[in-house]
Structures are given as C-alpha cells and as structure tokens.
Amino acid sequence: MLQQHWKKIVIGIVVLVVAVLGYSFWYAKYGNQADKPVDQSTADSLLDATTTSPATEPSPSTALEGTTTTEPVGADGTWSVSPESIVGYRVKESINGFSTEANGRTNAVTGSLVISGTTASSGEFTVDMTTFKSDESRRDGQFNGRIMSVDEFPTSTFVLTQPIDFGEVPSEGGTIPATASGDLTLRGVTKPVTFEISATYRNGRIAVLGNIPVVFADFGIPNPSIATISTEDNGLLEFVLIFDRAA
C-alpha cells in the first residue's frame, strides 16, 4: 500500500515536470512573439510609406530666368523626430533551459537633430518609458515595476556629446554609416556610450538606424531574471528614428 502510494507520487511529479518542460519549450519556440529586430528594411519601409514631399528651394539657374522650377535642398537644418519612430529593448531569455528573446517597443520618442553639411552638430532625444509594450502583459508589469521603475523614472534620454561626421552629403535614397557618441540616461543613471548607426535620406525625410548595447548593472537596472525565466546581464536598446524638417 505505502509502496503504491509513493509510486503514484513519483508518477505525478514526473508528469508535472514533463508538462512544465513541454510548456516551456512551446512558449520559448512558438508562444513568445518577439518582434523581428529593427533593420534597414524597417527604416526603408517607414520612409517609403511617407506622404511628406521633399523640401525644395528655387534652383539658382532657373531663378535667374524668373521661373519657379525647384530642386530638393540638402539635409542642412533642424530635424524633428516623427511619431513613426521606434525605440525598443531586446533581451535574450532562457525559460527552463529553452532559449528565446524578449522585446518591447514604443513610438513615444521626441527630439531633434541639427545638420550642417556632412555633420550632425547636435541632437537630443527623450523616450516616454511608461509606454513600452511587449507581447506579454506580465513582462510589461515587471518592466514598469522593479526593472525600470517608470513611476520614479518616467523618461530616458540621449544627448549627443560629439558631432556625427557622415563624411559626405547624403544623396536621395542613399545610406551612410557613421559613429555616434553621447550621454545615455536610463533609470536615472547617465553613462557615455558610443555606437554605430546608419542614416538614410529619402522622400525629404531622414531615418537613423542603430542599437546600443546596455549592461544592466552599469545603469542600476535589476537583472530581469525571475522564477524559471533567466536572462543575460545585458540587452540591446534598438531604434529607428524618422526625422522631418522642423517647422
């Protein structure tokens, strides 16, 4: 009798373990719906979907003739972040040993970029941290609470500390790689960062694409690991910023 009782308990434990592992495998491979990383195709699709017309000014040659024919101006001037812009986080997770990724995104970013010739001389951006969403409400709860404490730190910022030299004036539809350096503030902690970007000029707009590696401890961010879900000690802040000429 006692032996049969223990046998049932062992069988029950085995069934439970198998069920938990089976669900963990399903969720890691199929249930978790992380967005694809932002890339050049993301930037291109946002620029191609625009209805904004390129800014124009009278051509010197036609102005002398008294005509009104226009040609696109370059990228010189002040540019404002558009609401189509995307800022997100991406973190590698392990659920009971099964690898997956977690990500969340927002479009609530504001800021500006000043360009003169081949150089972006200044730039400053602010993200509303209270608006990030992922595919999982429980993840959002952890993000808003113990991880990013958005009630206490509702915004994050990035400020250029060095001009960005693109090396050439962008042509229509052209993409130029560059390096950006500035001060990144997350959860109230400010650190200098340097990272690679690419800028595309098309349809009178600019897209700036890139990602910033973030070590959680550097910014006082608690490791997101909880219960059977473990994460690495770092993640990516990924973005594609779409710019329109400031009014």
Q: What percent of the chain has pLDDT over 70?
A: 73
The arithmetic mean of pLDDT across residues 215-230, rounded, is 85
Stretch among 63-67, 110-114, 154-158, 159-163 having the lowest mean pLDDT: 63-67
84-94 b/e (C-beta count within 10 Å ≥ 16 → b): bbbbbbbbebb
Q: What percent of the chain has pLDDT over 90?
A: 57
Query: Which 8-state DSSP code applies to residue 70?
Result: E
Maximum mean pLDDT: which of 54-63, 111-120, 220-229: 111-120
pLDDT of residue 97 exceeding 60: no
pLDDT for the residue numbered 14: 47
pLDDT of residue 119 exceeding 90: yes
pLDDT for the residue numbered 40: 94
**Cα gap 125→111, rounded to integer Å:** 4
- Average pLDDT of the chain is 81
Summarize the chain as % helix, strand, coil (round to 5). Answer: 25, 45, 30
SS3 24: helix
pLDDT of residue 203 exceeding 70: yes
Q: What six digits make up the tokens of 228?
A: 């059977």
pLDDT of residue 94 exceeding 90: no
What does the chain come to in residues?
247
Distance of CA 22 to the CA centre of its chain: 32
pLDDT of residue 59 exceeding 90: no
pLDDT of residue 13 exceeding 60: no
**Cα gap 211→39, rounded to integer Å:** 10
Query: Which 8-state DSSP code applies to residue 62?
Result: H
Of 86, 78, 103, 75, nearest to 200 by C-alpha is: 75
pLDDT for the residue numbered 73: 57
Question: Which residues lie closer than 8 Å to 175 by C-beta, 6 or more apart?
Answer: 40, 198, 199, 200
In this predicted model, what pLDDT tens digit does every residue of 122-164 receive, in sequence order? Answer: 999 999 999 999 988 988 999 999 999 999 999 999 999 999 9
The arithmetic mean of pLDDT across residues 228-244, rounded, is 90
